[in-house]
Amino acid sequence: MITRRIFLGAAATLAGGRLGLHADAASNPAQEIEAILKRIQPPLFPNRDFPITRFGAKQGGTEKATEAIAKAIAACAAAGGGRVLVPAGTFLTGAIHLRSNVALHLEEGATLLFSSDPKDYLPVVLTRFESTELMNYSPFIYAFGATNIAIAGKGTLDGNAGPDRWWPWRRWGRGSGTDSVRDDLKKLLALADKDVPVSERVFGDGYRLRPNFIQPYRSNNILIEGIAVRNSPMWEVNPVLCRNVTVRDVKISSHGPNNDGCDPECCTDFLIENCEFDTGDDCIAIKSGRNRDGRRVNVPCENVIVRNCRMKDGHGGVSIGSEVAGGIRNVYVQNNRMDSPHLGRALRIKTNSYRGGEIENIYFGNNLVGEVAEGVIDIDFFYEEGKGGPFNPSVRRVAVENITSQRSRYALYLRGYENAPISGVRIAHCAFNNVAQADVIENVKGVEMVDVTRNGKPISL
């Protein structure tokens, strides 16, 4: 069903009025962005430095500095906070666990090279694998319940993953371990579907569920700034259940399987700016929990700003989903550049009737799109498991404005369900050039087109 209808614009507060945002937050993006930015304040740290070399770390990349780094973090926290300094050179390490009021600072020329031995990420910690909670290998850099933490500087985090380390633990494609990884994931999802307590969902040693690279968990006031991240085993930057997060001037290059660049998950007030993404999966993927486990936690991801970033290779420039059971709302994507024949889509919203989720108030404006392989704007309810489940997704109030694209297969690829259509899409002042195929628009209720062209001709529905 395709109809023309004026884009929804009535002002009303969100349920409970908790944040005082309009029901159609995309109707005045500048005002809403300003309100969010006022709440996002990067943490400050005392002027105290704790070089890891003072605690026994030796550069060269052969002798593990894990214990020395842990001692430096403990001393810094005990003193009331400050910076744990990684000087120029290469330092081999296992898992790093940050504490409140501690900034991990990598000086120019510094590299933290992470061990390829899975045992260096034990004991297991509370974490997530593809948005389902479990006890698993520690993320390479992890914090739980911390306040005021940072990972910053001009150095490099090298996950040391590759075709022979971590990446073979993939659940799709061909390669050693794919069947066992699928079985491990099936076991995890079965435990979650039965509401087995997370403390009893113990994986880690003997299983092949890869750890994420950087994961603050249930933490607040977070800054990740300036660093380069490469060769990640899994998702690179994945704050979960966090508030007040800034990811700025970060350069991510990692082309392994499931190598998302930045995944805000069940977070509130999140800024991503001036970053560069060259990834093996989504450049940015906004998430809120998977299936029954996501509905159990039931925390949305909301008030996310993505601006002035460069997206190169990846499945999507900015993706919303596919794990979206807790809902996602108030996402503002503006002034970014997305361009690569290996970039799948510019804006991608993906879900299905098993993952469900309410997605609303999405603004995608003033972004320069060069070439993408599939659709410039892609909203798809048929992702992976597709139709047939009991949890129809909801996508409403999506505004796309001032977009120019240079090459793509589709301009618009919008597929809802007949009994759960996509609702309230506004596309204004956009020019989609060198589009190879006709748009796909199925079960969308309320599309407004204003000054939109495809291959130089006005789009008509």
pLDDT score of 329 = 98
pLDDT score of 426 = 96
Question: Residue 112 pLDDT > 50, yes or no?
Answer: yes
pLDDT score of 26 = 54
Report, as an integer, the average pLDDT of 349-358. 96
- Give SS3 for 63: coil
List, for residues 330-345, the tens digit of each pLDDT value.
Answer: 999 999 999 999 999 9
Question: Residue 18 pLDDT > 70, yes or no?
Answer: no
Lowest model confidence (mean pLDDT) among 11-25, 270-284, 315-329: 11-25
Instruction: State the pLDDT confidence band at 23, using cuts at 50, 70 and 90.
Output: very low
Question: Residue 222 pLDDT > 50, yes or no?
Answer: yes
Which residues make Cβ contacts (< 8 Å) with residue 16, sequence separation at least 6? none
List, for residues 66-89, the tens digit of each pLDDT value.
Answer: 999 999 999 999 999 999 999 999
Report, as an integer, the average pLDDT of 7-32. 46
Whole-number Cα distances in Å, 85 to 105, 156, 158, 275: 5, 13, 17, 23
Higher-confidence residue of 247 and 17: namely: 247
Counting residues of the chain whose pLDDT is more than 70, the rounded percentage is 93
Higher-confidence residue of 400 and 447: namely: 400
List, for residues 372-399, the tens digit of each pLDDT value.
Answer: 999 999 999 999 999 999 999 999 999 9
CA dihedral 379, 380, 384, 388 (to 10 degrees): 140
Question: What's the topology of domain 2-41+84-458?
Answer: Pectate Lyase C-like (2.160.20)
List, for residues 288-319, the tens digit of each pLDDT value.
Answer: 999 999 999 999 999 999 999 999 999 999 99
CB-CB neighbours of 298 under 10 Å: 12
* Structure token pair of residue 264: 């805000």
Handedness of CA 97, 229, 314, 329 (dihedral sign): positive
Which residues make Cβ contacts (< 8 Å) with residue 337, sequence separation at least 6? 309, 310, 311, 367, 368, 370
pLDDT score of 185 = 96
pLDDT score of 460 = 72
Report, as an integer, the average pLDDT of 28-45. 95
Question: Residue 178 pLDDT > 60, yes or no?
Answer: yes
Instruction: State the pLDDT confidence band at 361, using cuts at 50, 70 and 90.
Output: very high
Instruction: State the pLDDT confidence band at 16, using cuts at 50, 70 and 90.
Output: very low
Give residue limits of the domains in the chain. Answer: 2-41+84-458
pLDDT score of 171 = 81
* Structure token pair of residue 147: 């306040």
CB-CB neighbours of 384 under 10 Å: 12
Whole-number Cα distances in Å, 416 to 43, 379, 441: 41, 8, 8
pLDDT score of 11 = 26
CB-CB neighbours of 60 under 10 Å: 11
Instruction: State the pLDDT confidence band at 233, using cuts at 50, 70 and 90.
Output: very high
At 180, phi and psi to the nearest 5? -70, -35
Contact 189, 183 (CB under 8 A): no
